[in-house]
Amino acid sequence: MAAISCPMFMENTELSNNIKKYCGEAGADLVGFAPVERWDMDGVVPVDFRPQRLWEPARTVIVMGMGMPLPIVETTPSVLHMELYNTVNRRLDTLAYDTVRHLNRLGQAATFFSRDGYNSLKALRRWPGAAFGHVMAAKYAGLGTIGLSHCLLTPEYGPRVRFVSVFTEAVLPMASLPEKELCIKCGACARCCPKDALRVREDRLIGDYDKTACLEMAEELTKRRSYPCGICTKVCPVGADRKLYRQKGIVKKYLREREALAADPDHPDYRSWQHVRRYGAKEP
């Protein structure tokens, strides 16, 4: 097949159905369309980080998400979790690249931003963040709401999902934004954070976030080859994946974990997670 064929002009609904079908079949668990005007709507994202500043022809950002299976996330920090994280990242980048090519074949100009967008933690120390933020893109695509932990919470996976974004010149039917916040402000993410990087705020839902403390944790875990941390994503009670894995009441177990393991590293309640953590990682 030619890399770029003659433009096939489709009705937008037909095009959006085509894209959703393509992305779903290529492995996306979640797909949403964010019109670029949404970045200007609330002014949260600085101008230089908005889609049209990065690529002027952009009219819609297609955001795709892949879920992270809960039983692996629960072992964090572990080599198993690191491998999952890297696998999902690679799959997302491939998915974004393939979606751009698919759009090109349909006659639509498109480009993409890979998921993390930094090549080392040193780079993050110099410039915290990435050139483009997928969390806000996913929010504007109607895939969820931002929780206390600054993660995007989705009805399907809570925060246990990673995203990638494709920019296209196509104007696609916009998704409606969720009417209700998904975060229940339980504070589990803040209580379980090993670096105390999250703080509950009385005056608003989104907590204070100490980026440097979180980055220190990432640096420690990178040295042990067991990154990323992600404990705040593990403990969040939101998400239909809790039902799938029949985990009613599990948050109490998470809240006790640090203290229980400090007293007994072989505590029976956490034996399987500790087993996974011991193998393959460097000693702290």
Binding site for ligand SF4 (CB under 6 A): 147-149, 153, 183-189, 193-195, 197-198, 214, 217, 229-232, 235-238
The residue among 172 and 221 lying less far from ligand SF4, judged by its C-beta, is 221
Query: E-strand spans in 72-148?
Result: 110-113, 145-146
Q: Which residue is nearest to ligand SF4 (CB)?
A: 147
The residue among 19 and 281 lying less far from ligand SF4, judged by its C-beta, is 281
Least distance to ligand SF4, CB of residue 213, Å? 7
Least distance to ligand SF4, CB of residue 66, Å? 19
Would you give the distance in Å from CA 9 to the centre of its chain? 32
Looking at residue 77, the DSSP 8-state letter turns out to be: S
Least distance to ligand SF4, CB of residue 138, Å? 15
- Comparing C-alpha atoms, which of 189, 198, 171 is closest to residue 254? 189
Least distance to ligand SF4, CB of residue 202, Å? 13
The residue among 141 and 229 lying less far from ligand SF4, judged by its C-beta, is 229
User: Half-sphere exposure (CA, 13 Å, Cβ side) for 245?
Assistant: 18
The whole-angstrom separation of Cα 175 and Cα 192 is 34
The residue among 103 and 231 lying less far from ligand SF4, judged by its C-beta, is 231
Least distance to ligand SF4, CB of residue 172, Å? 29
Q: Where are the alpha helices (DSSP H) in 106-194?
A: 121-126, 134-140, 188-192
Q: Is the dihedral of CA 31, 36, 37, 43 positive or negative?
A: positive
